[in-house]
Amino acid sequence: MNYKMAVKLVLSECSSALDKINEDEVNNFMNMLLEADQVFFVGVGRVKLELEAFAKRLAHLGIKVHIVGDINEPAMTSKDVLVIGSGSGESLIPVAIAKKAKQIGGKIIHIGSNSKSSLASITDLMVRIPVQTKLYLSDEIVSKQPMSSLFEQSLFLFGDVVAVMIIDKKNIELKKLWNYHANLE
């Protein structure tokens, strides 16, 4: 496969995945982020990297964000939200952290593909990106990319889409964001 063919494949799969996300779930997700005192993110591996990028974007938009496990992570409270990124919803560490956050009274959001995962009974909201996971569920979008690349790419793009929606909802001027960011460097 040449470069242009690979580009078409990746972009086509990402577009299909993002088109399948339920808009009501996205709006609820955005509102929960905006209403929370703090937003915590947890994921493992490459998914964690995508969540860190999204958290950084939200921090630029004035939302208090934390990555679970960071040295400066404060305690979570009942006024906070935990966002879990896990395609299968079965990753041990995120599931255990979600259970603890639920005991505290925090809101739990799962971004993943498996709506019947171990997280299903404790989540307040699931944003489903119905792409192929290690479970190979029958209603997942099949990918020609390696492993869970499509989920990770879709998660990254989803974060930027939500950021654009927040910018619009809060009437944030892009020029001010650029100036703010430039002054930090």
Q: Which two tokens stand for residue 54?
A: 């999204």
pLDDT at residue 180, rounded to an integer:
57
Burial of 153 (0-12, 13-18, 19+ CB in 10 A): buried
pLDDT at residue 57, rounded to an integer:
94
Whether the predicted model's global pTM rises above the 0.75 cut: yes
Q: How far is 43 from 131, CA to CA, in rounded Å? A: 17
Sheet holding 39-42, edge to edge: 65-67, 39-42, 81-85, 107-112, 125-128
pLDDT at residue 173, rounded to an integer:
78
pLDDT at residue 146, rounded to an integer:
87
pLDDT at residue 179, rounded to an integer:
66
The parts of the chain modelled with pLDDT lower than 70 are 177-185
Residue 152 annotated among the catalytic residues of the structure: yes
Instruction: Indicate which residue of 13, 23, 152, 185 is catalytic.
Output: 152
